[in-house]
Structure 1
């Protein structure tokens, strides 16, 4: 208990940032909503338009994340959303830290007394769902952006992985108990939720086409036409297909020496599943890779490539990075797994390749490296598909309507 108390003391909730509920709430501001994330910047990178819609509909919204990021606070404040910090480790299992997260969430929810809690990604869903139940929050709507690494083929390949998966299923069931709706980004995730009986009433599952993409913010940009430039944007996990991308790049460069291969993303703290800084530096020193680091704005980098590549075998929902590349107008090469495959019409706006198959990936990259006009034409088709299927405003219409948050 002393260890638990010490953890709480060093990871305090920033309650001073929470806006007090007005003494007299206008009739149209009926709902107080709490949105839970495992990465504070994702609130503005991925959820800003949804948060705007909630505020515009007259609701009082508090967004919650583990990092006290000044940019995030400022961006949320500009649209009328409050921010609260909660301790939450994004990866790994630490009973003390995880109990502290549930306790802090429970305290925050008891203080705010929200009508609705909306968690997304694995840990906020599990710990936020459980904390919301104990705090007596009546409405709970979940955004399953992907079931997580433990539900991937690689994640459950070992005995330990299978045990963690079973524990995760048990926790998901507890979190989803009494849910109003569970949004899934693809049919494979919905099927797993049904198969593992994570919800008692399967009619609560609703499939939506990812988080959507802001077509105006990620405006079309003509691709370069002088040489092949391939770009991979992802958290630097092995399951994102980074090792396969590097090996395929070696083969493509043998045929097209002027081709450039870029990676943009941040390192993961887990050395078992992450790509190391030493690995990245080795590929840079080899002259094979241009490592772009991390950024708050991917648009200039998308504009500078011809082809976007994500050879992921991670358990994706629908990768936001692909949607952004499509909106900018880029040909896409990704895997045939659920989530990734929802973004590509093979031979129309890109190619689907077999996961972990370097030969398959290299063939697709060689095809586009040798035919930049084809890559440009596929990019136009990507933009059209993004407009038809993945417009963030259309996606948010679905979410707002199903969560009963539309303006009266």
Structure 2
């Protein structure tokens, strides 16, 4: 199929981590893929170009609220889309969705997919500034929701909320759970039973690492013997970023084992008993939790949208209240002291991933969305 698809996404590493496999699938079907993003890492760009993708740099800052800078970004997207002349646009996350959606409604009027990969603090927090942002974003999403658009959600709760808010005016939304996991790469294995907990995520305050450090201190006071391994990306283009200096303080004091940005996730997961993500805001479906379940690992995470999509409480893991270090410590201790439960939860998680989160399921559902919009 000789169709041109333009992906518009906020940053290069996010595309590389979460969207490359889907792009590979559509390239294999004959689609021509253009990637519009902020390229920070030349190695990522070179790798994508070598694989046959057409890459376009976009100077967008995720935490910027400077009107002049945002106008420049929007105009840059407009010029790039004119030059690319795509048959379909696939935009991902809030800023690309809103900016590209407005441009498409005003100028291009071609099929467009909006991927809503979690609603974040804007929709989760009760803070006044987020309440204002929520109203603004809701109004803009309503404006760009047209008959030629389709919203894709990673969890059912976000989809239901958009229906309730009146954004999905044209029955133009569907649920596709997560990024899709390669079940052969993330293979099941027995836990090592070495008392190890893994936190692997972007190093943001909202991801709950500080609460996890507090929980491990509570466990050590009780004499519980375990290790807390931390791997992640330092993401300084987000206001809630945890500075590297804080990570180094925790590492030097023995609170965590700091591993840096680890590429081989299947191997890293296999070395740990429990995967923990005590996030405080609504996620899409956290990739690390899907990977953990696929590798047959028990999970402790928070009872928020997205996490509930992959973890069923007391089946393949535990769901605890956000920012509750005492409850977090209790449930971690429960798993670390019960080898049978570690194994049982892990096996249940693998079954869940095989039935709901495999690459094949995600690829086929995304293909159906594309074909419906393109009328093929």
Query: Which range, TM-score by smaller chain?
Result: over 0.9
Partner of 2:173: 205
CA contact (8 A) 1:184 1:205 kept: yes
Kept after mapping to 2: 8 A contact 1:102/1:130: no
Residue 306 of structure 1 contacts residue 376 of structure 1 at CA under 8 Å; is this kept in 2?
A: no
Matched ranges for 1:44-123 at <5 A:
44-123=16-95
Unaligned 5+ runs, structure 2 = none
> How far apart are 1:301 and its partner, in Å?
1.9
Q: Give the match for residue 295 of structure 2.
A: 328
> Displacement of 1:209 after TM fit?
1.4
Q: Secondary structure at the match of 1:91?
A: coil
Residue aligning to 2:151: 182
SS at match of 2:77: helix
1:33 and 1:118 in contact (8 A); partners too = yes
Residue matched to 1:258: 225
Paired position in structure 2 for 1:133: 105
Structure 1: tracts of 5 or more residues without a match: 1-27
Tell me the SS of whatever aligns to 1:209: coil
Distance, in Å, in 2 between the alignment partners of 1:164 and 1:171 is 10
CA contact (8 A) 2:318 2:331 kept: yes
SS across alignment from 1:129: helix
The C-alpha deviation readout for 1:172-191, integer Å capped at 9, x for no partner, is 22333444311111222112
**Cα distance 1:270–1:82, how it changes in 2: closer, same or farther (>3 A)?**
closer
TM-score normalised to structure 2 length: 0.93
- Once the two structures are overlaid, the 10-residue window that deviates more, 385-394 or 61-70, is 61-70
Q: Report if the CA contact (8 A) 2:275-2:298 is conserved.
A: yes
Mark the CA change 1:75 to 1:218 in structure 2 (over 3 Å): closer, same or farther: farther
Match of 1:230 in 2: 197
Distance 1:258 1:120 in 2: 42
TM-score, normalisation: structure 1: 0.86
Residue 80 of structure 2 aligns to a residue in which SS? helix
RMSD (Å), alpha carbons:
2.1
1:47 shift after superposition: 1.3
Aligned equivalents of 1:288, 1:324: Cα separation in 2:
25
Kindly tell me: are residues 299 and 140 of structure 1, through their superposed partners in 2, closer, same or farther at Cα, counting changes over 3 Å?
Answer: same
Moved more, 173-182 or 244-253: 173-182
Superposed CA offset, 1:298-345 (max 9, x none): 233212111000111122011111111111221111111121011112
CA distance in 1, matches of 2:199, 2:139: 34
Distance in 2 separating the partners of 1:276 and 1:391 = 34
Corresponding residue number in structure 2 for 1:18: none
Q: Does residue 1:220 correspond to 2:188, yes or no? A: yes
Q: Aligned with 1:206: secondary structure?
A: strand
Equivalence for 2:140: 171
In structure 1, how many angstroms separate the alpha carbons of the residues matched to 2:238 and 2:83? 38
From 263, 271, 275, give the equivalent of 1:296: 263
The equivalent residue for 1:39 is 11
Matching of residue 370 in structure 1 with residue 370 in structure 2: no
Cross-structure match for 1:196: 165
Distance 2:120 2:96 in 1: 12
Shift of 1:127: 1.3
Q: Secondary structure at the match of 2:221?
A: helix
Counterpart in the other structure of 1:392:
359
